[in-house]
Amino acid sequence: MNDLHINISIESSFYCKDPESTELGKKIVQVGIELMDQLGYEAFTFKKLGVEINSNESSIYRYFESKHAFLVYLVNWYWSWIEYKLVFATANIVSAEERLKKSIELLTEEVKEDSSFTFINEVLLCKIINTESSKAYYTIDVDKENEKGFYKTYKRVVQRVCDFVLEVNPQFKYPHMLISTIIEGAHHQNYFSKHLPALTDVEEGKNNIVEFYLKLTKSVLSL
């Protein structure tokens, strides 16, 4: 996959000026991810990012209209990337059950190596998604932003996996709840395992999280 040099295309509604179109734009995203990982969403500012990349706050505002918009961009990039991996991982697999299994694995495992086929460090991006992505939709402007399509990539991924669920068990009444519960759940569990271990059962070295959600899926769908 590393040799494909696919690039994730992001809709123009997620930026003012396409960051992929210039060196500065790529640097904003690349170093922006590193800095947000270090400081957390709240303490991250465009001013600090400007200093870090030897550029100017005002230049960054030409790419993203706000810090929130930058987060939304990252979240959509992440889901586009997951969608790509999902389509790739389930292509040519005959068994619907196997396709679902691969999907759940993909959605729940922690990304630990950077595929480095883009300027984005996927390991850090995933850490940010785990910790900060809910802030993209837990905002007073959700409804307005939902209308603008800010969460469409996420919804599309959920729908794809729902389709697999229904192939496996067409009678199942809660495919969306199941998949969004698993996605959000896995993000929480990854975070909890590092910071609030009393809320998990993660053991050193073992990937219990994937295991747990696979088991959950199997049992609730009677597989």
**Is 219 an interacting residue with respect to DNA (CB under 7 A)?**
no
B/e letters for 98-115, b = 16+ CB within 10 Å, e = fewer, are: ebbbbbbebbbebbeeeb
Q: Which stretch binds a second copy (CB under 8 A): 45-53, 71-79, 96-104, 207-215?
A: 207-215
**Is 32 an interacting residue with respect to DNA (CB under 7 A)?**
no
Q: Which one-letter DSSP state was computed for residue 93?
A: -
**Single residue of 59, 115, 139, 169 touching a second copy by CB under 8 A:** 139
**Is 141 an interacting residue with respect to DNA (CB under 7 A)?**
no
Q: Which one-letter DSSP state was computed for residue 26?
A: H
* Contacts with a second copy, 9-48, as mask; x by CB under 8 A: ------------------------------xx-xx-----
> DSSP labels for 147-195?
HTTTTHHHHHHHHHHHHHHHHH-TT-S-HHHHHHHHHHHHHHHHHHHHH
Residue with smaller CB distance to a second copy, 19 or 178: 178
Q: Which stretch binds DNA (CB under 7 A): 58-66, 73-81, 105-113, 183-191?
A: 58-66
Identify what 158 binds: a second copy, DNA, none; CB under 5 to 8 Å per kind: a second copy
* Amino acid letter for position 76: N
Identify what 149 binds: DNA, a second copy, none; CB under 5 to 8 Å per kind: none
For residue 28 the two structure tokens come to 């904003």
Residue located via tokens 């050193």: 204
CB of 70 to a second copy, least distance (A): 16
Name the nearest CA neighbour of 72 among 6, 147, 135, 24. 135
**Single residue of 56, 135, 166, 169 touching a second copy by CB under 8 A:** 135
